[in-house]
Structure 1
């Protein structure tokens, strides 16, 4: 999937303008980079367009994931994108569904495994049958 298609699908799913969807995608992926182990970030980035690979860069000093819950994840996305929490949560769900659609094999499942139970509401829409159908 190319960058424009990725952003367009996030825009559609989050019901926001493409420019805002691009900001929300960046904010979500930056936050996801903090939440995943460095190796998983690299595995995920390898399957995404170059524009998104630049966002998914693990910190070179650590392989460990920063352990924070779903509420903090949404708060970080909200701050990074300069939007309210409701839009941030919708966007995170939209990005997760689009990520699942964009990557092959079990890569999305590998990402989900690193998320604690309180992420369920944001991740389950991506796992639902037909979630990636347009």
Structure 2
């Protein structure tokens, strides 16, 4: 998927006003994902995403951190300057677009490494889990 296609999908799902806003939110969520998943998985995910989104997943951060949904959303909120409820919406928009942009097996491996209670976010903001 091209960058403009990914950002349009995030913009539509998250109801953002611009591609710039969609890109900022995408970068924030991907940054948090990169701190939660194994470096190899982050690199594999990066290979399926267009630049500059892939770059945020590539920096070596060492071992993945273990944290749950609340901390995941807190970190997204910290990156975007949003409130936790808004961060949940943001994460849902990006993760749902990601689920459409990468192969299903990559999504399954990502789900295995995210907090168990984050699976519903891949359905998008305000949607039922898939």
TM-score, scaled to structure 2: 0.88
Q: Which runs of 5+ in 1 are unaligned?
A: 129-134
4+ residue runs of structure 1 moved beyond 4 angstroms?
none
Quote the residue 1:29 is aligned against.
30
Q: What is the aligned residue count?
A: 125
Aligned position for 2:80: 81
Q: Does 1:114 align with 2:117?
A: no
Do residues 12 (structure 1) and 28 (structure 2) align?
no
Query: Residue in 1 aligned with 2:64?
Result: 65
Render the CA deviation track for 1:74-130: whole Å, top value 9, x for unaligned.
11111111122222111101111111111124111110011232223323x1662xx
Unaligned segments of structure 2, at least 5 residues: none
Partner of 2:96: 97
SS at 1:24 equivalent: helix
Asked if the contact 1:74/1:89 (under 8 Å) is kept, the reply is yes
* Distance of 1:83 and 1:11 partners within structure 2: 16
**Root mean square deviation, CA, Å:** 1.6
What is the distance in 2 between the residues matched to 1:53 and 1:94?
A: 17
Contact 1:93–1:122 (CA<8 Å) still a contact in 2?
yes
Give the TM-score taking structure 1 as reference length. Answer: 0.85
- 1:24 and 1:33 map into 2 onto residues whose CA distance is 14
CA contact (8 A) 1:42 1:57 kept: yes
In structure 1, what is the Cα distance between the partners aligned to 2:44 and 2:99?
Answer: 13
